[in-house]
Structure 1
Amino acid sequence: MPSRSSRTAEEQSPGLSRRSVFAAAGGLALAGFAATPAHAASTAARGSGGALSVRGADLSFLPQLEEAGVKYRDLKGRVRPAERILADAGANYQRIRVWVNPPKGYTDKKRALGLARRAKQAGLKILLDPHYADFWADPSKQPIPAGWPTELPALTEKVRTYTRDLVRAFAAQGTPIDMFQMGNEITAGILWPVGKLYPEEGPQRWSEFATLLKAGIEGARQGAGKRPLKVMLHIDRGGKLGDTRWFFDQITAQGVPFDIIGQSYYPMWHGSLADLKANLEDSVSRYGKPVLLAETSYPWTIEDGDGYENLIKDASALPDVARFPATPAGQAGYYEALREILAGIPGGNGLGFLAWEPAWVPGVGWEPGAGAPNDNLTQFDFSGRALPSIRAYRRP
């Protein structure tokens, strides 16, 4: 999920929306695409006992929140680190965001490595999420980090070596990553303007975009060495079938190698649960890849915890509010419904879900001096006590 300043309803990638009609009509030919058979993906997708193989959260704000004095309590009221609370509830993955040169205190490489040590100590696997930017990167902005090259050949090499060295650093401290996310919500490209898919003028830059993606993926695999590494491509079109087809048809045509289709899904922006189910099932069938909800969240209240306007302040923004009201019980029901949808993806190809910043209670702003626009979308209340929805991390 991007910063508050850039997240509105469906305006982030207008070019993509305009083109979705073509995707819905069939998109590009997929001849020659080597799909993974559903039965082969099934074992990897599910743990024993039919559990989703990925159940986790992005907790990248956690060190800042603790430094601000926030304490977390489990469902029994015991004070414990947030990652331990989620791990004890059944979580097995932690997603870690990393920026190149962010404002002081935000998640740079050093902070990300510290989060990785904590995650491994809690028994969690690691999904690394480099933004390839100094600060927030999402469908409305993907700026090249200051000091990086701005011409394609040199930028391509920088992406490869930066990624290689980043992944190696995690392995060197004994916390090798288990899954790699090539950019953050890359629906409209990365490293603008070089890899921008929907420029205001001129042709689409799919070739340049694919070149940059391939460089990052190559660097990640080089950094991982002999350790197997799953690569995910992540967009923000959870319930948008036409847009998803348009993006991944093009990616397939460009020959970008990846293992997992990642989606952000927020029902207030990305359609109903029925839309999500249809899109995920279509992706598995069309591309032969498992699917993962790399980001999701749902409000447990409409109240605001820090006096800073929240993204969701009106329950009418929720497409199924009668079934899932903005209450702790309604939030828990939403996560249970997600589990059911993912578990029902054919061939066991619904890998699971990652809640986005479920510990981001009041105390730290999305940028220095700002507030938290997501404090009613967390899985901890304003005081830091766990909400019933954490039970969705259970294994069975």
Structure 2
Amino acid sequence: MRTLLSSLFLFLTLQGLASACHPAPEKKAPTFVKGADISWLPQMEAGGYIFYDDQGKPQDCFQILKDHGINTIRLRTFVNPSNDPHSGHCSKDETIAMAKRAQQWGMRVMIDFHYSDSWADPGKQVKPKAWQGHGFPQLLQDVYDYTHDVMAGLKAQGITPEWVQVGNEIPGGMIYPEGSTKTWDSLAQLINKGYDAIKAVSPNSKVILHVDQGNNIPRFRTWFDNAKAHGAKYDVIGLSYYPYWLDGNPDYTLSIDDLAKNMNDISARYGKEVMVVEVGGEDDKVQNTYDMLVAVIKKVKAVPDHKGLGVIYWEPEGAQSWSRYKLSAWGSDGRPTKAMDAFLAE
């Protein structure tokens, strides 16, 4: 027995020495997401908009984005959209076609379910017309069936989104009134139906829950504390960060540190990865937008334990001359502005 114990002790000692000499490899950071939501692109192209590269040569928008370091495409999807050039489109078929195109360009894909026929955001979460009048049990089934249908359509085309959002900017909830944060139990059930449908088709896709004002620490703690208390299921916390829309001074230097503190706090508090899934700056203040993007990318990369996944610009190609949107990263000459170079700088 003594010989056996001595041998065992020697074995364990040698194992310990081997481990000390060959420590476990450090967890490798995943490829950092440098993304763009370009859901307006099909409408722009259909209307004859021509994109130009930095040299002024007509070029496919995907090529221009890739040349500026973009490796991920985010696409919104509406339930039964209109044909309005600015507030419509983004149907299931159009979203699948865009996702397939992104994949052909070697891009990673994120799908953003709005659960509405048009824009869903902090100011409005309008229930799809086809779901109106449905009782809550049917509404839960509506969410599951629609989500499953879109995911199955993507899968049929060989597309596996790496990330899928259940709802878009939902600080007050989604699919009002049933999914309001005034009734968190119902909201959590709706979220979980979306989650379950995504995982049923694509188990490896990570589900994102998305809240705006990424620098607002109390906003995120309150929201995700409630999500945890009511059993909402998700994998990643998505944040929007638009200094332009913040109350008071839109100078990003006044809020960027709070964005960093918030990401560090929520990643540790909830044990989740985080991603800035929407960001944007003024198209006529190019240097400021460039500087802001560089700062945001640095802050996301600095989230401990590689939990900061990346940064996605919202509609950088949506030039104001076409969209009337002030926060693109495209000039009136049809070329990307210097702001897009931020994705190459970091």
TM-score (norm 2): 0.85
Aligned equivalent of 2:162: 178
Quick check: 1:354 aligned with 2:333? no
- Aligned partners of 1:362 and 1:210: how far apart in 2? 37
Deviation for aligned residue 1:362: 4.0
Q: Runs in 1 of length 4+ with deviation above 4 angstroms? A: 39-42
- Aligned partners of 1:244 and 1:41: how far apart in 2? 30
Aligned equivalent of 1:114: 97
Considering Cα pairs closer than 8 Å and 6+ residues apart, tell me whether 1 or 2 has the greater RCO.
1
- Aligned partners of 2:212 and 2:288: how far apart in 1? 23
Quick check: 1:208 aligned with 2:186? yes
Quick check: 1:252 aligned with 2:218? no
Which structure 2 residue ranges, 5 or more long, are not aligned? 1-23, 247-253
Aligned equivalent of 1:297: 280
Q: Name the amino acid aligned to 1:210.
A: A
Contact 1:101 1:134 in 2 (8 A): yes
Structure 2 residue matching 1:379: 3-state secondary structure: coil
Aligned equivalent of 1:243: 219
Which structure 1 residue ranges, 5 or more long, are not aligned? 1-38, 48-52, 198-203, 302-325, 365-371
Structure 2 residue matching 1:175: 3-state secondary structure: coil
Report % sequence identity.
33
Contact 2:213 2:242 in 1 (8 A): no
Alpha-carbon displacement from aligned partner over 1:28-69 (angstroms, at most 9, x marks no partner): xxxxxxxxxxx99964x533xxxxx21101000001111222
Contact 1:300 1:330 in 2 (8 A): no
RMSD: 2.0
Structure (1 or 2) with the larger CA radius of gyration: 2
Contact 1:234 1:264 in 2 (8 A): yes
- Aligned partners of 2:75 and 2:341: how far apart in 1? 21
Quick check: 1:380 aligned with 2:324? no
Aligned equivalent of 2:58: 79
Contact 1:232 1:260 in 2 (8 A): yes
Aligned equivalent of 2:237: 261
> Greater helix share, 1 or 2?
2
Aligned length: 311
Cα 1:218–1:395 change in 2 (3 A) is: farther
Structure 1 residue matching 2:129: 3-state secondary structure: coil
Match of 1:97 among 76, 79, 88: 76
- Aligned partners of 1:120 and 1:142: how far apart in 2? 30
Aligned equivalent of 1:322: none
Match of 2:48 among 56, 69, 76: 69
- Aligned partners of 1:109 and 1:150: how far apart in 2? 22
Contact 1:132 1:145 in 2 (8 A): yes
Deviation for aligned residue 1:395: 8.5
Alpha-carbon displacement from aligned partner over 1:351-392 (angstroms, at most 9, x marks no partner): 11110011111465xxxxxxx342x32121022101122223
- Aligned partners of 1:291 and 1:41: how far apart in 2? 20
Contact 1:127 1:177 in 2 (8 A): yes
Cα 1:259–1:395 change in 2 (3 A) is: farther
